[in-house]
């Protein structure tokens, strides 16, 4: 079956540090991959996506590359800011007939200290 595994948090970094949040997936077909971000008390917002192997998604300084050979989609940012403190979810979607099915990782909380 399909699943997403991401590193457990919390991850605590100082401002301007390099960020990596690991994500690996298991899928029966050819999924699309996503990173979502959730700020306290809010819903999930799409951060970036990649729809096929070797695609790189990027947004707001965050990047992730769809690696089929290692079934991974690690999130990176070169220099984090305090405002990046949030919970990050890795997810995949795979079409099944008339609908998408989404599979989410458990979330990784990021704390960035000034």
Partner 1 sequence: DVKVTQSSRYLVKRTGEKVFLECVQDMDHENMFWYRQDPGLGLRLIYFSYDVKMKEKGDIPEGYSVSREKKERFSLILESASTNQTSMYLCASSLPRYTEAFFGQGTRLTVV
In whole angstroms, the minimum distance from the beta carbon of 79 to partner 1 comes to 26
Report d(CA 1, CA 86) in Å as an integer. 29
In whole angstroms, the minimum distance from the beta carbon of 50 to partner 1 comes to 11
Report d(CA 101, CA 42) in Å as an integer. 22
Residues in 15-54 at the binding interface with partner 1, rule: CB under 8 A:
31-32, 34, 36, 41-46, 49, 51
What string marks each residue from 80 to 109 as x (binds partner 1 by CB under 8 A) or -?
---------x-x-xxx-xxxx-x-xxxx--
Judged by DSSP in three states, 92 sits in strand
């Amino acid at each position: 079956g399909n699943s997403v595994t991401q590193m457990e948090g919390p991850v605590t970094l100082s401002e301007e540090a390099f960020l990596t949040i690991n994500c690996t997936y298991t899928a029966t077909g050819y999924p699309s991959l996503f990173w979502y971000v959730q700020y306290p008390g809010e819903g999930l917002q799409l951060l970036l996506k990649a729809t096929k192997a070797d695609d790189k998604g990027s947004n707001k300084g965050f990047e992730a590359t769809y690696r089929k050979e290692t079934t991974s989609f690690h999130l990176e940012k070169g220099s984090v800011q305090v405002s990046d403190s949030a919970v990050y979810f890795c997810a995949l979607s795979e079409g099944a007939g008339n609908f998408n099915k989404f599979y989410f990782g458990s979330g990784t909380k990021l704390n960035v200290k000034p």
